[in-house]
A and B are shown apart, each in its own frame.
Chain A
């Protein structure tokens, strides 16, 4: 089946630190990959996406590269701000339909 695995536990870091959130996936065929962000009290918003191998998605200083050989889509940001505090979800859409499969999410807390 199709599934997404995110690293366990919340991530706490200082402002201007480097952020990495790991995401690996299992899927048949050639899925599209996404990162969604959920700010406190809000719904999810698309942060970035990549639809084929070696594509790099980027937005708001965040980047993730679709690595087919390692089935990964790790999220990175070089210098985080307090306003980046949120929950981040990795997700995939398998080829053929728009049925998203989500990882469990990672809470990111940025301390001033």
Chain B
């Protein structure tokens, strides 16, 4: 039982390049989330998927797209990377969208855009 896994762990991009961050969970959770973590800012929600087949914008969605590929997988795409997207990205999942369910976090992807 691996929990939440993310790939890659580290990535360096040049401005304008694109990439997809992958996330998978093996806990049969319905809901999945993408956050970014910046120094002094805490974690901010980029997008979430309350259930398979649905996605919604969070607090900071600009410059990102997401795909809920199936119940297990939720990917985050940067179409044209910008230096402002340099951050640590965390994927999380929870059993349900409604109610105070614990969110389980992956180990993170450290992205640098030059």
Residue ranges of A at the interface with B (Cβ–Cβ < 8 Å): 32, 41-46, 49, 51, 89, 93, 96-100, 102-105
> Please, which residues of chain B bring their CB within 8 A of the CB of A104?
40-42
Can you pick out 14 interface pairs between chain A and chain B where the beta carbons lie within 8 Å of each other? Answer: A32-B100, A43-B90, A43-B106, A44-B105, A45-B105, A46-B103, A49-B102, A89-B43, A97-B98, A98-B97, A98-B99, A98-B100, A99-B45, A99-B58
Q: Are B107 and A42 in contact (CB under 8 A)?
A: yes
Which A residue's beta carbon lies closest to that of B6?
A43
Per CB-CB distance, the 7 closest pairs between chain A and chain B, nearest first, are A32-B100, A43-B105, A102-B42, A104-B42, A44-B105, A102-B43, A46-B102
From A41, A42, A100, A105, B103 is in contact (CB under 8 Å) with: A100
> Please, which residues of chain B bring their CB within 8 A of the CB of A44?
43, 90, 92, 103, 105
Total inter-chain residue pairs, C-beta < 8 Å: 52
Interface centre among A41, A96, A97, A103 (most CB of B within 10 A): A97
Which A residue's beta carbon lies closest to that of B95?
A98
Q: CB of B75 within 8 A of chain A?
A: no
Q: Are B42 and A98 in contact (CB under 8 A)?
A: no
Q: Are A51 and B100 in contact (CB under 8 A)?
A: yes
Q: Separation in Å of the A5 CB from the closest CB of chain B?
A: 11
From A41, A46, A93, A105, B42 is in contact (CB under 8 Å) with: A105
Which A residue's beta carbon lies closest to that of B101?
A98
Q: Are B4 and A43 in contact (CB under 8 A)?
A: yes
> Please, which residues of chain A bring their CB within 8 A of the CB of B98?
96-98
> Please, which residues of chain B bring their CB within 8 A of the CB of A32?
100
Interface centre among B4, B44, B90, B99 (most CB of A within 10 A): B99
Q: Are A100 and B45 in contact (CB under 8 A)?
A: yes
